[in-house]
Amino acid sequence: MLGVLFLWQGPRIPCLHVGDCMPPEGFDGCVAVSVTIRATPEECFRLVTDIENLSDFWPDYEFRREGQGPLRPGARYYSRRKGQKKWTPYRIVELVPDRRMVGELDSSDGPFARLRYDHRFEMHDGQTRSEEQVSYKLRYGLLGKVLDRLVVRKILKKQLVRAHLRLKQRAESGHQARGE
């Protein structure tokens, strides 16, 4: 389980936990979200690892994949905010089928010097606990630290909450990955 200190000050949703976490070495910030889903870890994992589904969870973004076949460590995919021209690359660094996916930003552009997400799926009391921890390091020195406290952390939490609630809705409605 991810070590998380929950400091969320939004609406209370019993199945949802959001907060700050201890950043690993080399990162300055860390946010985490956990949601309980009435579906199996395998169903949730399939939804999240199918590139065709990601726009359902992140509707303001487009996604495309490099290569074909199932995701595996080293696989690259790209995202961009709808309406923008530039694609941002990510690389899968660890994949444990039906249980865990770890990816990281694979670019030196943009506000993040580093970004890594660790998304886990665990059975808990007959349901799946979907936990995601996003660790990051912003550019811009002291200004980056101020922006993190004022804006970045709040935006990341809001985006993660929305994505996880969409995953919960999709998984609980029984919809499988589009490719099936």
What is the Cα 120 distance to its own chain's centre? 10
Specify if 178 maps to a domain.
Answer: no
Specify if 128 maps to a domain.
Answer: yes
Specify if 56 maps to a domain.
Answer: yes
pTM of the model: 0.85
Average pLDDT score over the chain: 88
Per-residue model confidence (pLDDT) at position 16? 83
How many other C-beta atoms can be found within 10 angstroms of the C-beta atom of residue 84? Answer: 11
Residues 2-21: what's their mean pLDDT? Answer: 60
- Residues 106 and 115: beta-carbon distance below 8 Å: no
Q: Which residues span the domain enclosing 157?
A: 4-172
Q: In b/e form, how buried is each residue of 163-174, taking b as 16+ CB within 10 angstroms?
A: bbbbbbebbeee
CATH number at residue 99: 3.30.530.20
Specify if 45 maps to a domain.
Answer: yes
Tokens representing 177? 């990955």
Specify if 177 maps to a domain.
Answer: no
DSSP state of 126: T
More confident residue, 14 or 7: 14
The per-residue pLDDT for range 20-41, each reduced to its tens digit, is: 999 999 999 999 999 999 999 9
Torsion angles phi and psi, residue 61, rounded to 5:
-125, 155
More confident residue, 58 or 177: 58
Residue 13 pLDDT greater than 80, yes or no: no
CA atoms of 49 and 92, how far apart (whole Å):
10
Torsion angles phi and psi, residue 106, rounded to 5:
-120, 55
Residue 160 pLDDT greater than 90, yes or no: yes
What is the Cα 118 distance to its own chain's centre? 7
Specify if 72 maps to a domain.
Answer: yes
Structural domain count of the chain: 1
Specify if 147 maps to a domain.
Answer: yes
CA atoms of 100 and 173, how far apart (whole Å):
22
